[in-house]
Amino acid sequence: MNKDSKIYVAGHRGMVGSAVWRALEKKGYRNLIGKTSKDLDLKNQTKVKEFFNLEKPDVVIDAAARVGGILANNDYPYQFIMENMQIQNNLIDESLKLGINKFIFLGSSCIYPKFAPQPLKEEYLLTDSLEPTNEWYAIAKITGVKACQAIRKQYNKDYVSLMPTNLYGFFDNFDLKTSHVLPAMIRKFHEAKINNNSEVTLWGSGTPMREFLFVDDMAEAVVYALENKLPEYLYNVGSGKDISIKELAETIQKVTGYQGNIVWDSEKPDGTPRKLMDVSKMKNLGWTYTTELQEGIEKTYLWFLDNIENIKEVKLEVN
């Protein structure tokens, strides 16, 4: 990959896209393109076509998506399935039409069945039913994976899909209504500490097992996929380690310095009982994570503190 190759990072202002941008700059890539959702509506096929014909990128990295946690997925199912399909379909189809040979599609571990064997292997895709609380987003992402696979098969182009585990880090969404579990906990514990609250109430039982990956490690996996032609169409990206939500809460409580009690609201949904990625395929190719969970949480909390004045309530939109 030439350092002057024109690389379009869709969603470059979001948590994943901004991490990818930083990683590319660190590696010396000088010709990066990014457009905000205000400048380019990726749901608009005509606008995407015009942009591609004007810029003619050599590589496309799709980190754009409408994202959210259990509550957001449950409340906005149509937006989660339709808008994500519109975004990725426009990017994938225009890349193919323009003759772009390298496309990296980023998804989520939620594409795998709810009760798939653990750890999750790539071949478990489409073998059983999905987790109902986020199936709309999952189905959209599965269509993107299969579209890229179809292009590999029919046109022999290097279109690859990377499925990260639960990501967290700089520029995360800390809105309690739409965020994922880890950033939501950081905000809850921080605000409880500031307000001297005696307890923090968290959703579920605390027993589900989850795997987490610092977003800058995910970005390094993207750069690895950029600089190497991966032999298969789908790869899991994660740490290969999981912890209970209760352990996660206790770790975040420790990092934030909150001294009160944790109360579990067991009437709220837990989601999938366990979600651990089998990351052996990426590891065998030469990529592995480097940031351990507590270190990543510490970095994320410091970023949160440094940017707390700029963290606003997030409306559901492409980031």
Identify whether the C-beta of residue 169 lies closer than 8 Å to the C-beta of residue 17.
no
pLDDT at 318: 39
- Rounded-to-integer distance, Cα 81 and Cα 138, Å: 8
Instruction: Output the pTM of the full model.
Output: 0.91
Where are the chain's structural domains?
Answer: 7-310
**Is 261 labelled as part of a ligand binding site?**
no
Identify whether the C-beta of residue 164 lies closer than 8 Å to the C-beta of residue 218.
yes
ω into 119 cis (within 30 of 0): yes
- Render each residue's pLDDT in the chain as its tens digit; 319 residues: 899 999 999 999 999 999 999 999 999 999 999 999 999 999 999 999 999 999 999 999 999 998 776 777 778 899 999 999 999 999 999 999 999 999 999 999 989 998 899 999 999 999 999 988 889 999 999 999 999 999 999 999 999 999 999 999 999 989 887 778 999 999 999 999 999 999 999 999 999 999 999 999 999 999 999 999 999 999 999 999 999 999 999 999 999 999 999 999 999 888 778 889 999 999 999 999 999 999 999 999 999 999 998 875 444 333 3
pLDDT at 74: 78
Query: Is position 289 annotated as part of the catalytic site?
Result: no
**Is 117 labelled as part of a ligand binding site?**
no
Catalytic residue selected from 137, 159, 235, 301: 137
**Is 178 labelled as part of a ligand binding site?**
no
Alpha-carbon distances, residue 231 vs 62, 107, 284 (angstroms): 19, 18, 12
- Rounded-to-integer distance, Cα 177 and Cα 75, Å: 10
Using the Cα atoms of residue 245, residue 249, residue 254 and residue 255 in order, give the sign of their dihedral.
positive
**Is 153 labelled as part of a ligand binding site?**
no
> Which helix (H) or strand (E) segment is 168 a member of?
strand 166-168
**Is 180 labelled as part of a ligand binding site?**
yes
**Is 108 labelled as part of a ligand binding site?**
yes
Architecture of domain 7-310: 3-Layer(aba) Sandwich (3.40)
